[in-house]
Amino acid sequence: MKKVIIGLVVGVAIVAMVVVSVRTAAGRRGTKVYEEEAKKVESLITTVKASGEIQPRVYVNISSQVMGEIIELRVEEGDHVRKGEILVQLDPEQYRSGVERLEANLRLARINLEQERTSQATYESILKRQSALSKQSIVSAESLEAAQLQFDRSRHQVRALEEQIRQAEADLTKARDELAKTTLKAPMDGLVTRVNAKVGEQVIIGTMNNPGTVILVLSDMSELLAEVKVDETEVARVAAGDTAIVNVDALEDRRFEGVVTEIAHSAFKDRDVSRFVVKVSLTDPPGGEEQARTEVPLPASSKIPGGLAALRPGMSAHASIKVARRDHVLVVPLQAVLTKKRSEVEALLKGEEPPKPSDAGPIAAEEAAPTEGTGAGETGNPPAQDEEVEMVFVDRDGKAVIEKVKTGLSDEFNVEIVDGALQPGDKVVIGPYRTVKKLKHQEAIVRAEKDEDLKEED
């Protein structure tokens, strides 16, 4: 039994020694890292990404200016209409009876005016006779004065009746206008993109606190926009005239080109984040018309560009706006570039331990700095700032060598190298991230395959 136990202990010890020796040998070979080559590219494009929805540039909410019941709805969603075409008919009966009543009132007022003008002519004749007789002292002054008063009263009554007629005419004009508004017509050529009401429903007019009933929406689909929401940190990079590529969730296999035509001047809050609405005018893609006509039946008179016919207002859209471009530039992957303090980089190049930040904090550092008139501070020059510098680790014959660089534009994956000793074909270290952060200058490294799983070192 003792022999068995002794054998097991010896076996475990041998296995442990083998594992330790393998790890030690691996450490002598170097730290395993992922690498990519620095390379020249034809063009590097910086983009700003934003999401939003498809909207027509011009659309009209069709609402009623008078109250009433919908008795006829002549269009459905997806119908193409021409300007002046009847869309909705409200019940006109109460407005028609109002017109008839005001027409009768107007006729009655005109009759009363004619009667009063006849009376005025009679009173004028009486006044003339009384005036002639008064000159002959046949009638008294009181009779002449009474005749004058009757004539003046009739003249004023005629003027009052004339004003009543003008008021009646104005009321009749308003009533006829309201009667005409019970028939809603298309204000422009367009596509019915939404119908919110049904026959038999009562529509109400808008007030200050109530927007009223939107019966349907009529859109001019000849020019479509992608209205996207750009973060406030990126909107300053976007300018009118920038080109963009727009993807629509509903049409995964299609890409649309566009141009930025409008940038909002005021932000809106989106979950406590300020964003700006940017409008991207979409263009008809080449060859899109034939494909669209097989997807969407378009009438011969339609003004909708063929390639955009498959789009619908409200579809989710994602725009990549091209804000800058460089041609024939040297690039490396974004994760290859590290930013460190200049003092830390200099220490790494000398093979020293990087300086640790003072635990005393910025106040103690301020107090420890030379002051004017004492020691090194007598020169009056402030201490040099420990600025940040950019660097990459380059594989030079199996060793990680620090190369200082200066970066320029970047896209989703790569960044431009505008200054430094880096050359096309140089292999730069890109990961694992924690391993790269702890690499030392001239440290031995081994390139790992992309499909090899390297664990992050703590």
Residue 310's pLDDT is 81
Q: Residue 256 contacts by C-beta under 8 Å, 6 or more apart in sequence?
A: 226, 245, 246, 247, 248, 282, 283, 285, 307, 308, 311
Give 369-388 pLDDT, tens digit per residue: 444 444 444 444 544 567 89
Mean predicted confidence (pLDDT) in 2-30? 54
Residue 28 has pLDDT above 60, yes or no: no
Residue 270 has pLDDT above 50, yes or no: yes
Residue 362's pLDDT is 39
Residue 350 has pLDDT above 90, yes or no: no
Q: Where is pLDDT greater, at 289 or 134?
A: 134
Q: What is the spatial order of strands in the sheet that 68-73 belongs to?
A: 183-185, 86-90, 68-73, 202-203
Give 68-120 pLDDT, tens digit per residue: 999 999 999 989 999 999 999 999 999 999 999 999 999 999 999 999 899 88
**CA nearest to 77, candidates 192, 173, 174:** 192
Kindly indicate the confidence band of residue 355, based on its pLDDT and cuts at 50, 70 and 90.
Answer: confident
* Strand 443-447 to 31-37 pairing: parallel
Tokens encoding 229: 């929401």
Residue 262's pLDDT is 94
Residue 39's pLDDT is 93
Tell me how far apart the alpha carbons of residues 21 and 127 are, in angstroms, rounded to a whole number. 141
Residue 130's pLDDT is 81
The mean-pLDDT minimum among 102-106, 410-414, 452-456 falls in: 452-456
**CA nearest to 190, candidates 84, 315, 53, 54:** 84
The mean-pLDDT minimum among 36-50, 167-181, 381-395 falls in: 381-395
Residue 30 has pLDDT above 90, yes or no: no
**CA nearest to 221, candidates 159, 298, 138:** 298
Mean predicted confidence (pLDDT) in 209-238? 90
Q: Where is pLDDT greater, at 220 or 300?
A: 220
Exposure letters 403-417 (e unless 16+ CB within 10 A, then b): bebebbbbbeebbbb
